[in-house]
Amino acid sequence: NAGVTQTPKFQVLKTGQSMTLQCAQDMNHEYMSWYRQDPGMGLRLIHYSVGAGITDQGEVPNGYNVSRSTTEDFPLRLLSAAPSQTSVYFCASSYAGADEQFFGPGTRLTVL
Amino acid sequence: EDKVVQSPLSLVVHEGDTVTLNCSYEVTNFRSLLWYKQEKKAPTFLFMLTSSGIEKKSGRLSSILDKKELFSILNITATQTGDSAVYLCAVATGGSEKLVFGKGTKLTVNP
């Protein structure tokens, strides 16, 4: 099993550009989520999904979109990148009702 | 609003020292508390605690939960340089898989 995979590992964008961060898991987990991690801020939940076709907002959803068309994939879209979105982004997944989440390796995003 | 507070935010010790990391929480409908270790990449799972007073142990690491006083501690004995990391505390609340994270404690173990 590859676990939770994320691409790309690093990305530099200019203000106003759009892009999609990819997340996939091969553990047949129902729950998937996106976090951002900024220095001194811990992990903050952006969006999450409890299954294919179902998504909801987390603590800091503004500027991000998600969709969940399959159990395996949960992409995160930045519609118009801003410098405030410079961060490290982690995708995580778990079985429904389970508390332990498994994390991907992260994507380091810089917006100039 | 659910809240998880970790202390201290950073800690520098020498190899062989024992450290105690703290995590307090204020959440509605507590379900479990989790500890993760984060080196330079993704957080990796250490412990999950659901019941008060029952210690979880893994080698030199141990953790205990006090549901009455709403806190948990993570102990690391005989620290090694490989223990240097950010330790994250998270709480799961009933009815949802969402986790609420604290800001983390950055532990540095010097040789």
B23–chain A Cβ distance below 8 A for any pair: no
pLDDT of B67 strictly over 90: no
Cα gap A66→A54, rounded to integer Å: 10
Whether A97 sits inside 8 A of B97 (CB atoms) is yes
What is the DSSP-derived secondary structure letter of residue A83? G
Q: What is the reported pLDDT for A2?
A: 81
Average pLDDT, integer, range A15-29: 96
Query: Tell me, what DSSP letter sits at residue B55?
Result: P
Q: How buried is A46 (Cβ within 10 angstroms: 0-12 exposed, 13-18 middle, 19+ buried)? A: buried
* The one-letter amino acid at A89: Y
Mean pLDDT value across chain A: 94
Q: Is the dihedral of CA B25, B27, B32, B37 positive or negative?
A: negative
Task: Look at residue B95 and tell me whether its pLDDT is greater than 90.
Answer: no
Task: Check pLDDT > 90 for residue A66.
Answer: yes
Q: How are beta strands B105-110 and B10-14 bridged, if at all?
A: parallel
Mean pLDDT of B91-108: 89
Q: With the CA atoms of A13, A18, A22 and A23 taken in that order, what torsion angle do they form, in degrees rounded to the nearest 10? A: 100
CB A23 within 8 A of CB A75: yes
Per-residue model confidence (pLDDT) at position A42: 87
Tokens of B110: 């010097």
Partner-chain contact A96 B97, CB within 8 Å? yes
pLDDT of residue B37 exceeding 90? yes
Cβ distance of A103 and B88 shorter than 8 Å: no
**Whole-number mean pLDDT of chain B?**
93
**Closest CB from B31, B41, B99 relative to A106:** B41
pLDDT tens per residue across span B42-62 = 999 999 999 887 889 999 999
The answer for residues whose C-beta is within 8 angstroms of residue B109's C-beta and 6 or more apart is B13, B14, B15, B17, B79, B80, B81, B82, B83, B84
